[in-house]
Amino acid sequence: MTQAPSRLGQGVNPTHGILMFVAAVSIFPMLDAIAKTLAAQYPVVQITWARYSFQTLALVAYFFVFLRHPFSVLRTRRLRMQVLRGSIMIGSNLLFISGLKYMPLADATAILFVSPLLVAILSVPLLGETVGLRRWIAIGIGLVGMLIVIRPGLGVFGLPALFPFSVACLYAVYQITTRSLAATDHPYTTIFYTSITGLLAASVLVPFDWVPPTALDWGWMAVMGGMGVFGHFILIKAFDYAEASALAPYNYFQIVSSVTCGYLVFGDFPDSWTFLGAGVIVASGLYVAYRERMARGATRNL
């Protein structure tokens, strides 16, 4: 049994890390597809509560089976920050599932990809980082790509597009808090507090909006929670094998899984404008990640 994973970002085997990362980001759209299917029959709050319930159960089981000191995950130096991160995550889940009720999975995912660009924007006031002119231009181009996907004023998505865009904004703050917590708390601790915060918040709301699930749908809800835990665990493990800067570009592989799930499950296939907008967003995000990597390298060489 293991007590804790090895130190993150060691770069032991980048190929293993990349494969794990791609697998993780491919799992999340499958989870979203299940949530979108369930949202046709059940309230969004109930689906979110079910995900966090089964996710927390799976986490606790994992900790007690594989960790020598399972209660060590409760130790945090920054409880308020952990609760904030968990609150942001459940808010993101509620908004994203709400958006999926009205728009295709791949289109919603494409809009989410502006999140790394928003992280770069927020890193200036929140982390005191410097963003150069080239990155600002790339960020602006990426936001234009989002407008291509949404096509405001043409009646394509309209107000439903605000759901994934709001999620992108929240997820940018979520990533900022994750960066901050990584310096003080173990990843297992962060995952646990994110899950338990979401479960407690959803448990307060779910009694007011409940539809009795069928046995089959209970099963799908359990699968959803299990996939969430598995995806996050292999995501964390990926950083044991490869540097974060090496993994970042592969985050965009998620669009492949989103398009595949959307087509196979719902018969949705993005039009050429969505592909164009997604391509602009991805290219901008990759360039921003490249410039950030160059900036960090220059700082280390000083």
Q: Using alpha carbons, select from 14, 19, 33 the residue that is nearest to residue 257.
A: 33
Asked whether residue 284 is domain-assigned, the answer is yes
Residue 4 lies in a domain: no
Chain CA centroid to CA 288, Å? 19
3 found inside a domain: no
**Which tokens in the block code for residue 61?**
């089981």
- Res 47: pLDDT: 95
Q: What is the mean pLDDT of residues 271-284?
A: 84
SS3 70: helix
6: in domain: no
Q: How many CA atoms lie within 13 A of 254 on its CB side?
A: 28
User: For residue range 25-84, what is the model confidence (pLDDT) as tens digits?
Assistant: 889 889 999 999 999 999 999 999 999 999 999 899 989 988 888 898 899 988 999 999
Q: Are 4 and 186 in contact (CB under 8 A)?
A: yes
What percent of the chain lies above the pLDDT cut of 70? 87
Residue 159 predicted with pLDDT over 80: no
With tokens 């130790």, the residue in question is 75
CA–CA separation, 214 and 299 (whole Å): 56
Across the chain, what does the average pLDDT equal? 82
Distance between CA atoms of 302 and 298, rounded to whole angstroms?
7
Q: Which residue would you say has higher pLDDT here, 302 or 60?
A: 60
DSSP secondary structure letters along 194-249: HHHHHHHHHHHHGGGS--PPPHHHHHHHHHHHHHHHHHHHHHHHHHHHS-HHHHGG
* Count of structural domains, the chain: 1
Is 28 among the domain residues? yes
CA of residue 211 relative to chain centroid, distance: 27
Q: 59-63, 104-108, 285-289 — which is least confidently predicted?
A: 285-289
pLDDT at residue 3 tops 50: no
Q: Does a structural domain hold residue 10?
A: no
Does 5 map to a domain?
A: no
- Computed from CA positions of residues 61, 44, 175, 23, in that sequence, does the dihedral angle turn out positive or negative? positive
Please report the pLDDT score of residue 279 as a whole number. Answer: 86
Domain range holding 281?
Answer: 15-300
Contact predicate 210/50, CB 8 Å: no
pLDDT digits (tens, 9 = 90+) for 214-244: 999 999 999 998 898 888 788 777 877 877 6
Query: What average pLDDT does this structure show over 260-266?
Result: 87
How many Å apart are CA 300 and CA 91, to the nearest integer?
Answer: 37
Which one-letter DSSP state was computed for residue 185? S
Ramachandran angles phi, psi of 301, nearest 5°: -85, -5
Per-residue pLDDT reduced to its tens digit, 92-103: 999 999 988 888
2 in a structural domain: no
